[in-house]
Amino acid sequence: MLEDIKKAVYEANMSLPEHGLVVFTWGNVSGIDRESNLIVIKPSGVEYSDLSPEKMVVVDFEGNVVEGNLKPSSDTATHIELYKAFNDIKGVVHTHSPWAVSYAQAGMDIPAAGTTHADYFYGDIPVTRAMTADEISNEYEKQTGKVIIETFNERTIDPNHIPGVLVNDHGPFTWGTSPSNAVYNSVVLEKVAEMTYHGLMLNDRSSRMDQELLDKHYLRKHGKDAYYGQ
């Protein structure tokens, strides 16, 4: 079942080490079939070199394995929460990519500081609050998803326009219109974190770009008036 999505999820997972976003097994990508609300995700703890489309695991919104012999990624419950709350997304990625993690550990948003950022993220990339002891103790992975959603709700951020987040003292999750688009956003987030780190070190009074420039770059690539790179 869902062979196309399995292939897409497999290929998206394989692209993580190619983009330098993960070492060992430190990353996972999923995709969803929005008709059946079934999620296809990387199995847990399997080396990238041992993956194949057939090894992808299919789970439902309760986390039950619907197909597959391997255990789904331990982060599956986080992916599920994101798919349930963010209705338009069709792919989710989690990595420990180093520049993004640096911001997560610093507890800092990545400010929208330049057009590379603005081409794909329509504003600052938020960091979540620290999770409470209770959230960490009970259904931690599910609560990780919930604290992401809370962040977007409380700050009234549209996840379709800011397709990524930093979980405090942990690392980035990104999403998108497909598994490969979610990976693309992970690459952008990592590259933007790197650029903006060095820009802040050079001049910490110049962190945020003008709103007009942010609007221009985001909107020329996204939405009904887009004309860039089409």
Q: Which of 140, 158, 215, 228 is catalytic?
A: 228
CA–CA separation, 123 vs 7, rounded Å?
Answer: 32
Whether residue 39 contacts residue 58, with contact meaning beta carbons closer than 8 Å, is answered with: yes
199 binding a copy of itself? (CB under 8 A): yes
Q: Which of 140, 123, 13, 3 is nearest to 78 (CA)?
A: 140
CA–CA separation, 9 vs 11, rounded Å?
Answer: 5
- Could you please report the per-residue DSSP string of 124-191? PBPBPPPPPHHHHHSSHHHHHHHHHHHHHHHTT--TTTS-EEEETTTEEEEEESSHHHHHHHHHHHHH
- One residue of 48, 63, 85, 102 binding a copy of itself per CB under 8 A: 102
Residue whose entry in the numeric block shows the structure tokens 């199995």: 43
To the nearest whole angstrom, how small is the minimum distance from the Cβ of residue 170 to a copy of itself?
A: 4
- One residue of 7, 55, 96, 222 binding a copy of itself per CB under 8 A: 96
Tokens (6 digits) for 16: 């993580």
197 binding a copy of itself? (CB under 8 A): yes
Query: How many residues interact with a copy of itself (rule CB under 8 A)?
Result: 58
- One residue of 156, 212, 224, 225 binding a copy of itself per CB under 8 A: 212
Window 121 to 180, contacts with a copy of itself (CB under 8 A): 130-131, 133, 136-137, 140, 169-171
Closer to a copy of itself by CB, 33 or 102: give it: 102
Q: 218 an active-site residue?
A: no
Q: 109 an active-site residue?
A: no
To the nearest whole angstrom, how small is the minimum distance from the Cβ of residue 127 to a copy of itself?
A: 10
63 binding a copy of itself? (CB under 8 A): no
To the nearest whole angstrom, how small is the minimum distance from the Cβ of residue 86 to a copy of itself?
A: 22
In 64-106, DSSP assigns E strands to: 65-67, 91-95
CA–CA separation, 127 vs 3, rounded Å?
Answer: 35
Angle ∠(125,43,29) on CA atoms, nearest 5: 25
Point out which residues bind a copy of itself (CB under 8 A).
Answer: 19, 23-26, 44-45, 71, 74, 96, 98-99, 101-108, 113-116, 130-131, 133, 136-137, 140, 169-171, 184, 187, 191, 194-203, 206, 209-210, 212-213, 215-216, 220, 227-230
Catalytic residue annotation:
119, 228
